[in-house]
Structure 1
């Protein structure tokens, strides 16, 4: 068993978990309960650190965030799977290298042997020596056939190893993507942030928080299946405005986050407005009834990362700017300069 709690300890923790779920407005389903129990137990320092920072920054804890924490820290055999991926990738890389080297060495050996026997013949050697040379030529011919077969096998093994390595890379890439929208997930976001800040500790990063207006109401009226289709198409539209240097992230159920390095507040606000207009122009038709669905709009909040705050405080402040856009009537862009007004 993972936990060695006594009955009394388990009962006390269950009561704390219940209070935690109530305080954070989380439903008491198995995933939320498991993550909360892990947090209350305090065994996983990284998970506790993430939750504490979110609470401190007043960043929302919702089912989407809790599911990602579960997958990242509590999903069975997750660390072992990651280690297996790394070891397998390393193995196929070595296999590909060895097969290339072996094929090249065998080919060089046969070329040298052919050249040496030709030189001996050209020297006009006596009959016994020529007999030996002929025997060597016969053996070389057989060896060449065997080498050609081996080379074909090595080529096939090489192709298979490259294919396996490609599939492994795809698998690792899929772990960084949200399966519904194809946008990056929070794990990918954290990895990219680490890269950006390692390259330039004081780097300027703008964040655009995006939320679909009244989307829960849309799901209730038209169903989650149509809602997922709408969400996926909006995600693609949002992503289309992000250049290669930026990172589009699905940060919540109907929430996205666009991270833009080396971009100032004004430019980020202009990009946010382009995204808003692009989504507003989308039109959706029900494939079943052929009726036009209501127009989908988004609210956006724009802010810049400040060196005096941690990342969770920054995301919390970005969420406040997004809330301001909603309070002002939705389907608009707000930036952090409006918080003081």
Structure 2
């Protein structure tokens, strides 16, 4: 067998007996005192330690205690071999971490049986630990697969709405990245820290594409109308926030459990058209009563709408869009979020160029991109 047993005893006769018993079955290491035992354990990591209690300088209890304090050694089973036969002595042995306590004089069959048993138990624990690691790895892999699938479904759902208005192109991808960098800037600014945890920002990134999911319920003659909407048509258009909430609530009911992701998606879909001064829709919410997720989405959505061409308007330049959002601070938008936006407006421009549609770039930028590619 390849298993290693460390014998620790200051008495040479005892060591000779133990070596004679163990050597036919195990690789045997020997220490004559506590310090030497600790050195050998650290260097060789034996499969089991047979430890005398009564030794000079450092007794067996202290040796065992020190072994168990070291994470890399604590799994090594320790069996005490001693002439100390009082109950309190045995209790002390188990309290410092021993797995067994054998009285001297030693019975060879009992010693060999217990050594074999505890080595097998150690091997079983190690095998279970490896199996747990494999299972954890498989769970992580499966979780990652499910997350990828979830992300794909989210984009697919969002794309259903976007294909109804095919001028928006990469709009859902851009707004995802806008809200994330905006949230990260707010964290850097030290504001809204109670809400903007890393987990919240990840969920925000995933749920942002669903902000216009309600557009699937808007008739083409309204959604795609090239001219200005009538009052009645605008009323229909505004209902996309309510339609979006209904769609997502139906998803919640179908899965029958609470989802932080869907909670954020609900907030964004329903409230991203609210305005800081209370003049938005569908409820006319005002100030911080508007969910933070929706206030972030509002800035991202408006910026992207401004720089994109629509059937009813040309695209504005990045600089014009920044000025318009700055002018909307305290009216349309949360002033704190606008400050964060202004600080990183260059990042918004970079995102717009990375996930560009030709109609959101001016001629100079389009030429640059063509030449660079």
Please tell me the TM-score bracket, short chain as reference.
under 0.3
Q: If the length of structure 2 is used for normalisation, what is the TM-score?
A: 0.23
Q: If the length of structure 1 is used for normalisation, what is the TM-score?
A: 0.25
Structure number with the bigger relative contact order (C-alpha 8 A, sep ≥ 6) is 1
Q: Greater CA radius of gyration, 1 or 2?
A: 2
